[in-house]
Amino acid sequence: MPIAIKTIDQIMADEKHDMYFIQFGKDPFDFAEKRYPNIVRRHREWFETRNLSHATAAPRGWLCGDPGYRVVYFDGPDDPRVAEYSAEFEDETGKSLNPKKYQMVLMSYQSWLDGGGPRRLADDLAIGDDWL
């Protein structure tokens, strides 16, 4: 059964606040690149043991398959699980301990607005009507 994967723009529009995203691998459009299943599994297990919601997220234009992105629903930057995550998976600067395989980022809602997120989403939704 097919599943609907929300784009990063859809998630930002729905949530209307700063959000954390993880990218596994360097380029979701490089199909030859491995997705590092052990790293992904380790992250998922970490999230689940902390009752932290997460879901697949897609970049703009993604049509099918695993894009290698996850949205992580921390309770904001002050959520103590953010510090726990950093202690486990990042160095003191916030850089991934294995940057070729994963990196978590905080996308600010304001930067998404300022960067044209709502316009991109409206354009994508208008294009989507042509597919129906």
Which pLDDT band, with edges at 50, 70 and 90, does 62 fall under? confident
Fold adopted by 8-131: Alpha-Beta Plaits (3.30.70)
Q: What ranges in the chain are assigned the alpha helix state H?
A: 8-15, 37-49, 80-89, 109-114, 117-131
36 — phi, psi (to 5°)? 55, 65
In this structure, what is the dihedral angle of CA atoms 44, 50, 51, 54, given to the nearest 10 degrees?
A: -40
Of 69 and 66, more confident: 69
- Encoded tokens for 119: 């316009």
- What pLDDT is recorded for position 131? 46
Cα(4)–Cα(56) distance, rounded to whole angstroms? 9
pTM for the model stands at 0.87
Write out pLDDT tens, residues 88-110.
Answer: 999 999 999 999 899 999 999 99
Per-residue pLDDT at 47 exceeds 80: yes
Per-residue pLDDT at 80 exceeds 50: yes
Pairing of strands 69-72, 102-107: unpaired
- What pLDDT is recorded for position 60? 84
